[in-house]
Structures are given as structure tokens and as C-alpha cells.
């Protein structure tokens, strides 16, 4: 009996064979390029960066800039507005925090990250008080979607910054002014007092030298002699400062409170959602104050989280599940730590979590019980699968 090639029986097999023959004859043979795509991807998006602190610049009483150079001689390119997630090993816990790159993407020798102290903050205090020149740090490669898109954003941009939320804007402002790009930027920068304003002198200087960049500080607790704009960034103030808001693209960045305050103000101006882009700098200070938080669950309630195939750990209601996992020595992939990138996607098998507004869980993920552990707060005992 002759051996039969059963592939001949597959529908469309002959056509595919014919196509392969044509490709062999006329197309570029890509077998020799094997690995090229991987090499390019690894060059642009390495999994981990080894960095050395080359300089530390005191910015304000509560913030410093860390100038980071590559320990192996290469930093991947980035878009102004992106961040790196810096890893730390502290008190036996491996954790990380994202920090926006404040330097311009046209500067390829280093990344500047500017860190502001957070009261009782786990990582910011470590970076500000312990890290010195010559120290090594590891981070993810640059990531994030908070950057300018020339196809959709037009060239009239308004940046609303609060506190350390100035950092991604600083990168964008430096890029536009250094490269002489055709974009108009108005920066409205909210700060408690003028001395607390990071990059104030440089912003004033750039605004003076570049007609397409306007800098407007707004001080909420001004000293008696202060003569500039005071209070908060309200719809009324924006209307007064900007002749026409219609053709503008708004970017909002800062702590949670700023975002909660400014978005309704932009609504009052009639700004459609598609003309407002936002980046929130980390989880809310007090999750129990968020709209929708169940009043019966108290801040210091502690639940049990059983990890399928692993151990059972305690988890406080007011801390993201990711922090409870890290405290227990379990690290899962992470990048944004703000609910956006999906890297910490975890399956919730039973129990209930609270995920604040703005956490970008895909509809299909919600349907199949996936949560973003960096922004999921336990409301009951849980069982999860990592």
C-alpha cells in the first residue's frame, strides 16, 4: 500500500503550497533574518534597565532630581510624558514605584526623574534620604500612554499640573522648546506655595524665551505679598486665562485630589472627554473616601487572601492588593501601579474587591473575573490565582 500524504486532504492545501512556491521564487527569504525582530524589540523595550545615579539635584525642600545613566551604556528612546517603574528592596520587601521622566527625549545620555517626598511614603523617602551618587537602581523601560499624539491632539495644548505632576509636562515642555516644535503650550501649575513649585525658575525662563510657551502659576496658600493667581484651578479661572477653550487639548496630571477637582471644572467648561487626557500619580490617599466605597468596610479591616496553589496572606482593606502581596514576599509583574497597563492582571476566584474609577480593566476581563491588583482593595476574604 502506498503511503498517503494526508495534508493533501486539508481544504486549501494546494493553494497554500502554490503560494509558498511563489514566495520562494520572488520574495525576500526571511529565514536569514530570524531573531532580528526580537533584537529590535529588546533594544527598544528591554525588560529591565540597569541604571546608575550620576547626579542629584536639589529642586525644592521636598524634592530632588535623580539623573540616571545606563550602567551598560544604552538607554532606550521614550516619548515625552512616559515613566519608568523603579524597583527597590526595602526592609526585606521588593516593591516599585513609577516616576515620569522629566528630561527631554532629545537628551539620550540620561533620564532625569524628580521625586517629591510623600509623608510616610515607603519609596519616596528612601530615594530622597538614602540614595546617593553612584548607587545602582533597576527599572522597567519607559512606558505609559500620557504623551502627545500629533494626529489627534492638535497644536494648542493646555497642561494642568499639580505638585509633582509637573514632571511629565517638564519633559514635553523641554522637548517642544528645545526642538522649536510647532506647538503652543499653556501650563497652569497649581501649588500650595511658590517655593514648593518644582522647576519654577526654569519654567519662567523658558516662558520668557519662547513665544509658544506660557507659564501660569496658581497658588492655593499664598504668602501675604503674593500678587499672582491664587486659589485652585477652577473653570472660571481657566475661562479667564484662555481666550478660547474650544480648540484646546487638556492634559491633567497630579495627585488624586487634583484630578477629582479639575475634571468636573473641565466639564463645566463643556470640554468633551476626548479632549481631556489624564494621568493620576498613584492610588488615592484614603480609598475609603472614594465614591462607591461600602461604608460597612472600615479602613483597618483585614481580610484573608488565599493564593491558589500557594499561601494565605493578610490584606488590609485600605491598601491595594499588590502591596499586601509584596509585604508577604510575593511580587507580580507591574509597571504603572495605577490601574492602566494591565501587567498586574490577577484572577479573582472568590470574594469581592473595590476598584476605584479610572481603573482600566477590559470588559472581557471584568466578565471573567480579572482585576488589577495594583488598584484593587479587598472588601471580603479572597481567593486569587496569580
Ligand X SMILES: Cc1cc2nc3c(=O)[nH]c(=O)nc-3n(C[C@H](O)[C@H](O)[C@H](O)COP(=O)(O)OP(=O)(O)OC[C@H]3O[C@@H](n4cnc5c(N)ncnc54)[C@H](O)[C@@H]3O)c2cc1C
**Site for ligand FES, rule CB under 6 A:** 334-337, 339-344, 372, 374
CA 41 to chain CA centroid, nearest Å: 21
Binding part of the chain for ligand X, among 116-124, 152-160, 204-212, 235-243 by CB under 6 A, reads 116-124
Contacts of 223 (CB under 8 A, 6+ apart): 193, 194
Closest CB to ligand FES among residues 238, 321:
321
Closest CB to ligand X among residues 110, 281:
281
Closest CB to ligand X among residues 86, 269:
86
Binding part of the chain for ligand X, among 11-19, 23-31, 178-186, 332-340 by CB under 6 A, reads 332-340
Asked if 338 is part of the footprint of ligand X (rule: CB under 6 A), the reply reads yes
Asked if 331 is part of the footprint of ligand X (rule: CB under 6 A), the reply reads no
Closest CB to ligand FES among residues 118, 280:
280
d(CA 65, CA 115): 6
Distances (CA, A) of 326 to 94, 120, 148, 298, 307: 6, 17, 34, 22, 13
Binding part of the chain for ligand X, among 6-14, 120-128, 200-208, 290-298 by CB under 6 A, reads 120-128
Instruction: Please give the span between the terminal C-alpha atoms of the chain, in angstroms, as a whole number.
Output: 53
List the single partner that 95 binds among ligand FES, ligand X, none, CB under 5 to 8 Å by kind: ligand X
213-249 burial, b if ≥16 CB within 10 A, otherwise e? bebbbbbeebeeeeeebeebbbbebbeebbeebeebb
List the single partner that 341 binds among ligand X, ligand FES, none, CB under 5 to 8 Å by kind: ligand FES
Asked if 124 is part of the footprint of ligand X (rule: CB under 6 A), the reply reads yes
Rounded to 10 degrees, the C-alpha dihedral 344/348/354/357 comes to 50
Closest CB to ligand X among residues 143, 238:
143
Comparing every residue's Cβ against ligand X, the nearest one is: 121
Q: What minimum distance in Å lies between the beta carbon of 174 and ligand X? A: 14
Contacts of 200 (CB under 8 A, 6+ apart): 194, 217
d(CA 195, CA 188): 16
d(CA 60, CA 75): 27
Of the residues 66, 281, 370, 377, which one makes contact with ligand X according to CB under 6 A: 281
Residues that bind ligand X (CB under 6 A): 83, 93, 95, 97-100, 113-116, 118, 120-125, 144, 164, 167, 279, 281-282, 323, 326-327, 336-338
Amino acid at each position: 500500500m502506498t503511503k498517503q500524504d494526508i495534508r493533501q486532504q486539508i481544504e486549501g492545501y494546494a493553494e497554500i503550497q502554490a503560494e509558498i512556491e511563489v514566495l520562494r521564487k520572488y520574495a525576500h527569504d526571511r529565514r536569514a533574518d530570524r531573531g532580528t525582530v526580537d533584537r529590535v524589540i529588546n533594544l527598544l523595550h528591554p525588560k529591565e534597565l540597569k541604571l546608575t545615579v550620576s547626579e542629584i539635584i536639589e529642586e525644592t525642600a521636598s524634592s530632588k532630581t535623580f539623573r540616571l545613566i545606563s550602567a551598560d551604556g544604552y538607554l532606550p528612546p521614550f516619548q515625552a510624558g512616559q515613566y519608568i517603574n523603579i524597583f527597590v528592596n526595602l526592609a526585606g520587601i521588593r516593591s516599585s514605584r513609577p516616576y515620569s521622566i522629566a528630561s527631554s527625549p532629545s537628551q539620550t545620555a540620561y533620564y532625569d526623574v524628580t521625586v517629591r517626598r510623600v509623608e510616610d511614603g515607603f519609596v519616596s523617602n528612601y530615594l530622597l534620604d538614602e540614595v546617593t551618587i553612584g548607587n545602582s537602581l533597576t527599572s522597567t523601560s519607559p512606558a505609559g500612554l500620557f504623551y502627545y499624539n500629533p494626529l489627534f491632539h492638535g497644536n494648542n495644548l493646555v497642561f494642568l499640573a499639580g505638585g509633582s505632576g509637573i514632571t511629565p509636562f517638564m519633559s514635553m515642555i523641554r522637548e517642544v522648546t528645545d526642538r522649536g516644535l510647532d506647538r503652543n503650550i499653556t501650563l497652569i501649575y497649581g501649588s500650595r506655595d511658590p517655593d514648593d513649585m518644582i522647576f519654577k525658575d526654569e519654567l519662567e525662563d523658558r516662558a520668557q524665551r519662547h513665544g509658544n510657551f506660557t507659564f501660569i502659576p496658581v497658588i492655593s496658600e499664598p504668602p501675604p505679598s503674593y500678587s499672582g493667581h491664587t486659589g485652585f484651578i477652577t473653570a472660571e479661572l481657566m475661562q479667564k486665562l484662555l481666550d478660547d477653550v474650544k480648540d484646546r487639548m487638556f492634559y491633567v496630571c497630579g495627585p488624586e485630589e487634583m484630578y477629582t477637582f479639575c475634571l468636573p471644572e473641565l466639564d463645566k467648561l463643556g470640554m468633551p472627554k476626548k479632549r481631556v487626557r489624564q494621568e493620576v500619580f498613584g492610588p488615592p490617599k484614603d480609598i475609603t473616601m472614594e465614591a462607591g466605597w461600602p461604608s460597612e468596610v472600615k479602613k483597618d479591616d483585614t481580610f484573608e487572601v488565599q493564593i491558589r496553589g500557594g499561601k494565605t496572606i493578610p490584606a488590609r482593606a485600605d491598601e491595594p492588593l499588590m502591596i499586601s502581596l509584596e509585604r508577604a514576599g510575593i511580587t507580580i509583574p507591574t509597571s504603572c501601579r495605577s490601574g492602566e497597563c494591565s501587567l498586574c492582571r490577577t484572577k479573582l476566584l472568590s470574594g469581592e474587591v473595590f476598584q476605584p474609577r479610572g481603573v482600566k480593566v477590559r470588559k472581557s476581563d471584568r466578565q471573567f473575573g480579572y482585576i488589577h491588583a495594583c488598584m484593587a482593595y479587598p472588601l471580603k476574604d479572597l481567593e486569587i490565582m496569580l
